[in-house]
Chain A
Amino acid sequence: DAKTTQPNSMESNEEEPVHLPCNHSTISGTDYIHWYRQLPSQGPEYVIHGLTSNVNNRMASLAIAEDRKSSTLILHRATLRDAAVYYCILRSTLNYGGSQGNLIFGKGTKLSVKP
């Protein structure tokens, strides 16, 4: 899977929007962009994913650059419960020897939310 680059940490104030960036300059046309988050003492949780177009769901929005070399996860109003490590991951649709585009995690971005 192609590599992603994220800041190690970010801070936000409660009830303000948060923009979490991710660079993936070597992305291929068959790679989906997935975001997961991991709250303290829990397993990772799916947030959102997309291929080319911007995506919205009840948790967040995903803005994908036109050249797909970067993306931004947007939390519209941060709450204290959004404090977590956020992972940006590329998943290939190609079947590499049966591994089927497995989720390969980096270190992610640790988001702190201040009241």
Chain B
Amino acid sequence: EAGVAQSPRYKIIEKRQSVAFWCNPISGHATLYWYQQILGQGPKLLIQFQNNGVVDDSQLPKDRFSAERLKGVDSTLKIQPAKLEDSAVYLCASSLTSQGYANYGYTFGSGTRLTVV
């Protein structure tokens, strides 16, 4: 099966500019996640979607970050305006959802490396 697709692979922007990342999950995966990974740290969950609804966005800095999954398939994460501390790898992941959801693994994309200068 095809993996989780993310684009772009790399992005360099100046602070206060805006940027958007795109993710296409594995076909049939109802749950989609966006993670932020700062260099040297483990990934941090930003937002979780179940189909086209937000399940958990408690860690998303909503003053500058937004995300959508309008048709319950692919998703876009946006940062506006970007700050220097937003430099990180942004990872998208998807998983099946069923009654025993902790019994399923996530599949991650390769991520988008964002550098804010």
Partner-B contacts on A (CB < 8 A): 30-32, 34, 36, 41-46, 49, 51, 85, 87, 91-93, 97-108
Task: Kindly state the separation between the CA atoms of A34 and B104 in the bound complex, as whole angstroms.
Answer: 9
**Known A44-B108, A49-B105, A102-B33; 8 more pairs at CB < 8 Å:** A31-B102, A34-B105, A43-B109, A44-B93, A100-B55, A101-B102, A103-B93, A105-B43
Task: Kindly state the separation between the CA atoms of A106 and B45 in the bound complex, as whole angstroms.
Answer: 11
Q: Which residues of A contact B50 (CB under 8 A)?
A: 98, 100
On whether the beta carbons of A45 and B101 are closer than 8 Å, the reply is no
Indicate if B79 sits at the interface (CB-CB under 8 A): no
Given A98-B55, A102-B33, verify A43-B105 contact (CB < 8 Å). Answer: no
- Kindly name the residue among B44, B50, B101 whose own CB sees the greatest number of chain A CB atoms within 10 A: B101
Given A49-B105, A93-B102, verify A103-B45 contact (CB < 8 Å). Answer: yes
Q: Which residues of B contact A101 (CB under 8 A)?
A: 101-102
On whether the beta carbons of A43 and B100 are closer than 8 Å, the reply is no
On whether the beta carbons of B48 and A99 are closer than 8 Å, the reply is yes
Task: Kindly state the separation between the CA atoms of A98 and B45 in the bound complex, as whole angstroms.
Answer: 14
On whether the beta carbons of B42 and A105 are closer than 8 Å, the reply is yes
Q: Which residues of B contact A42 (CB under 8 A)?
A: 110-111
Indicate if B14 sits at the interface (CB-CB under 8 A): no
- Kindly name the residue among B91, B103, B107, B110 whose own CB sees the greatest number of chain A CB atoms within 10 A: B103
Q: Which residue of A lies closest to B100 (CB)?
A: A93
On whether the beta carbons of B110 and A43 are closer than 8 Å, the reply is yes
On whether the beta carbons of A45 and B108 are closer than 8 Å, the reply is yes
Task: Kindly state the separation between the CA atoms of A92 and B102 in the bound complex, as whole angstroms.
Answer: 6
Task: Kindly state the separation between the CA atoms of A103 and B35 in the bound complex, as whole angstroms.
Answer: 10
On whether the beta carbons of A98 and B56 are closer than 8 Å, the reply is yes
Q: Which residues of A contact B110 (CB under 8 A)?
A: 41-43
On whether the beta carbons of A91 and B102 are closer than 8 Å, the reply is yes
Q: Which residue of A lies closest to B42 (CB)?
A: A105
Q: Which residues of A contact B101 (CB under 8 A)?
A: 93, 100-101
